[in-house]
Amino acid sequence: MKHTGAEIIIRMLERKGIEVIAGIPGSANLTLYKVLHGSKIKHVLARHEQGAGFIAQGMARSTGKAAVCFATSGPGATNLITAIADAKLDSVPVVAFTGQVATTMIGTDAFQEIDTYGLTIPVTRHNFLARSAADLLEIIPEAFRIAESGRPGPVVIDVPRDVQLQEVEFDEWPSFHEINTKDGIDSNSLSEIASEINNSLRPVILYGAGIIESRSESLLAELAEKNNIPVISTLRGLGAFDPFHPLYLGMMGMHGTKYANHITDQADLVLALGFRFDDRATGKASDFCSNARIIQVDIDKTEIGKIKAVHRHIHADINVFLEAVIPLIDRDQRTEWTGRAAAVKELMPYIKAPLNGDVFHPLRIIDEVAATVPEDTIDTTDVGQHQMWVAMKFPFRRSRTFLTSGGLGTMGFGVPAAIGAALAWPGRKVVCFSGDGSFLMNIQELATIAEQKPNLAILLFNNGSLGLVRQQQELFYEKKYIASEFQSRPDFAMIARGFGIKSFDLEKEKDPLAVLRGALDSEEPVFINIPINFSENVFPMVPPGSANKIMIG
C-alpha cells in the first residue's frame, strides 16, 4: 500500500484507538488536518496551544492512557511547551505532533521556523524529528511506547511539511508495542525488605503517583492493613487511598496535615512507594524522616536516592513489588504505634471551616461541593491557595479524580485540563476550582467549552489577588506587598456569559449555597464566581526551606 506521511499519522492514531485530538492548525500542519478531515477521530479546536496541551493532559491524567495534541510550527510549538514541561514533571503520557517547515528549509530562519526538536529535549521523555514518511512507521509506535511505559511522560514528534506530503510504499501497518513492566525482582532483596518491615516498630508508607500509575491501589491497602502501617500520600497520590481509612494520615508536606508530618518524623522505617521526594513534600530534605531507615521503590532508576540517600531500594514496577512482598509480610497488630498515630491525629485535628463564620469560607464551599457532586466526579485545580484548600479538604475517594499541576505548578492548568477530562468521560461530572489569577491565564478556553458543552462547572475562588503570593509576602516578606493585589476586578460572570456560558455570581445571591448546589446539579457547563475573603490564608504551612515538623498556623 501507499500512503503519505500525514495519512500514516492519522491512520496510525486511529489504529491506536485515539478518539479525540486537541489542537490548532497552521500552515505547517494543514496537510495533517486535511487527512484528519475524513477521520473518525474528533478534533477539538483549542484557542491557544497551551490549552490544547492541557486538554490532552486532562484526557491522559483522567484515563491513564496517552493522549494527543497538534500544533503548527514556530509559535504553535512554543505555545505548547509549558504544557509539555508540565506533563514531564508529573509523568503524564502526552504525544504532541508539531508541524515543521519543509526539510529543505530547516536552518534558514524560514517563516515560523523554530527548532522544536532542540527546544523540547529537556522537557520531554523523548522527541523525534521525522526525516521521511517511512520514519513515521517506526517513530509513532516507539513514541507511544515511551510515553506509556515505565514512568510515563510526554513525547514530541516534529513533522516537516514535505514529510507530511511524501508518499511511501509499505506492506503492512506496524503494530504498537505491548507494554511490559513486569520484570522480576531479586528475591534476596525482597526478603530482606520484608523482614525490615516485619521487624520495624514504627513503620510508615509514603506513597506518590506511582501507586496510581501502576494501578496498585488495592495492593497498597492490603499491605497497610496486613501489617498495620499508617499511610501518607503526596499531593499527586490523593485519591489512591480511602481518605476515611483509620490508617490514613492524609497528605504530607508544605500544606499537608500536621499529623502526617509529625508521624513521618517519628517513624523508624519509611517505605517510599512511587514517591519522588519532591521538596514541597519533604520540606528540608536533610531533616526529612531523619529517624528512619528508608526503603524506596520506584520504576524510574534515576529517582532512587536522588534527593535523599536511602538504605534499601528496589527499581521496579510498584505493582510487581507489592504482589511479591505482601506474602512475606506478617499479620502484625502493632497497636502501640497505630495507637500513637491515632492519638496524634486526635490531638492535631484537621482543618475545618469556622462553624458560624463566613458562608464563602473556602473550606465551607469545598465541603458543600463534595457533599453535592457524585463520588466519581473529576476535580481539577489551578495553582494557588484554592489548589491547596482543595487538596487538603476534598475527600478524593478514587484515583484519577484529582487532576492538578503538581511538579511545575502551572497557573492556567485547571480549565483546559477539565475540558480534557470531560471529553474523556462524557458521562461524568467535572469540577474545576480556579483562582482569579490562574483563570485569566487560559480564559480563552471558555470558547472551547461553549462549543463542546461538557458537564463541567468552573468555581472561581475570587479573592482579588494572587492569593498564595500575597500569603507568602505576608508571612515571609515582611508584608511588603507588591504585584499580588489586583487593582481591577473584572466581572468574570459577565465575561463567561459573553462566551455563551451559563453564569452565577454568588456575591449577588440571597442564598448562595442553594444557588451553588443548583448550579452543580446542572449538566451543562456553568461558571460560578465565589467571593473569597482577601486576607484568608492556607494553613497549616511549612515555611519554605524548613523541616516539615515546623508547621505554622
Ligand X SMILES: Cc1ncc(C[n+]2csc(CCOP(=O)(O)OP(=O)(O)O)c2C)c(N)n1
Furthest CA-CA distance within the chain: 73
- As measured in angstroms, the least distance from the Cβ of 494 to ligand X is 18
- As measured in angstroms, the least distance from the Cβ of 475 to ligand X is 13
- As measured in angstroms, the least distance from the Cβ of 387 to ligand X is 7
Q: Give 3-state DSSP helix, strand, coil % of the chain, rounded to 5.
A: 40, 20, 40
Q: Which residues pair with 379 in a beta bridge?
A: 402, 431
- As measured in angstroms, the least distance from the Cβ of 467 to ligand X is 3
DSSP classification of residue 479: T
User: 496551544: which residue's cell?
Assistant: 49
- As measured in angstroms, the least distance from the Cβ of 468 to ligand X is 4
Between 56 and 468, whose beta carbon lies closer to ligand X?
A: 468
| Residue 413 one-letter amino acid | F
Between 157 and 496, whose beta carbon lies closer to ligand X?
A: 496
Between 141 and 384, whose beta carbon lies closer to ligand X?
A: 384
- As measured in angstroms, the least distance from the Cβ of 463 to ligand X is 5
Between 303 and 436, whose beta carbon lies closer to ligand X?
A: 436
Please calculate the CA angle 303-307-313 and round it to the nearest 5 degrees: 50
Give the residue among 92, 72, 57, 68 at the shortest CA–CA distance from 16. 68
Q: Which three cell numbers stand for residue 218?
A: 488495592
Tell me how far apart the alpha carbons of residues 64 and 216 are, in angstroms, rounded to a whole number: 13
Between 90 and 265, whose beta carbon lies closer to ligand X?
A: 90
Between 233 and 385, whose beta carbon lies closer to ligand X?
A: 385
- As measured in angstroms, the least distance from the Cβ of 493 to ligand X is 16
Chain residues binding ligand X by CB under 6 A are 382-386, 409-412, 435-438, 461, 463, 465-469
Tell me how far apart the alpha carbons of residues 303 and 197 are, in angstroms, rounded to a whole number: 22
Give the residue among 410, 491, 485, 439 at the shortest CA–CA distance from 92. 410
Q: What is the dihedral of CA 373, 376, 382, 385, to 10 degrees?
A: 60
Q: Which three cell numbers stand for residue 458?
A: 468552573
Q: What is the dihedral of CA 417, 63, 304, 387, to 10 degrees?
A: 30
Between 117 and 413, whose beta carbon lies closer to ligand X?
A: 413
Between 228 and 438, whose beta carbon lies closer to ligand X?
A: 438
- As measured in angstroms, the least distance from the Cβ of 366 to ligand X is 12
Between 310 and 411, whose beta carbon lies closer to ligand X?
A: 411
- Angle in degrees, 0-180, between the axes of helices 318-325 and 187-199, rounded to the nearest 10: 70
Tell me how far apart the alpha carbons of residues 53 and 58 are, in angstroms, rounded to a whole number: 9
Between 396 and 439, whose beta carbon lies closer to ligand X?
A: 439
- As measured in angstroms, the least distance from the Cβ of 436 to ligand X is 5
Contact between 123 and 53 (Cβ < 8 Å): no
Would the CA dihedral through 109, 115, 118, 122 be positive or negative? positive
Tell me how far apart the alpha carbons of residues 369 and 355 are, in angstroms, rounded to a whole number: 17
- As measured in angstroms, the least distance from the Cβ of 452 to ligand X is 23
Between 519 and 530, whose beta carbon lies closer to ligand X?
A: 530
- As measured in angstroms, the least distance from the Cβ of 122 to ligand X is 18
- As measured in angstroms, the least distance from the Cβ of 409 to ligand X is 4
433 CB contacts (<8 Å, ≥6 apart)?
A: 366, 379, 380, 381, 382, 386, 387, 390, 414, 459, 461
Element holding 162 (H helix, E strand): helix 161-165
- Angle in degrees, 0-180, between the axes of helices 217-227 and 318-325, rounded to the nearest 10: 30
Contact between 28 and 101 (Cβ < 8 Å): yes
- As measured in angstroms, the least distance from the Cβ of 384 to ligand X is 2
Between 264 and 438, whose beta carbon lies closer to ligand X?
A: 438
Pairing of strands 456-462, 203-207: unpaired
Distance in Å from the first CA to the final CA of the chain: 68
Between 343 and 552, whose beta carbon lies closer to ligand X?
A: 552
Question: HEC profile for 346-378?
Answer: HHCCCCCCCCCCCCCCHHHHHHHHHHHCCCCCE
Between 168 and 411, whose beta carbon lies closer to ligand X?
A: 411
Q: Where are the alpha helices (DSSP H) in 267-361?
A: 279-282, 318-325, 335-347
Q: Half-sphere exposure of 506 toward its Cβ, with a 13 Å CA cutoff?
A: 28
Tell me how far apart the alpha carbons of residues 99 and 256 are, in angstroms, rounded to a whole number: 43
- As measured in angstroms, the least distance from the Cβ of 439 to ligand X is 7
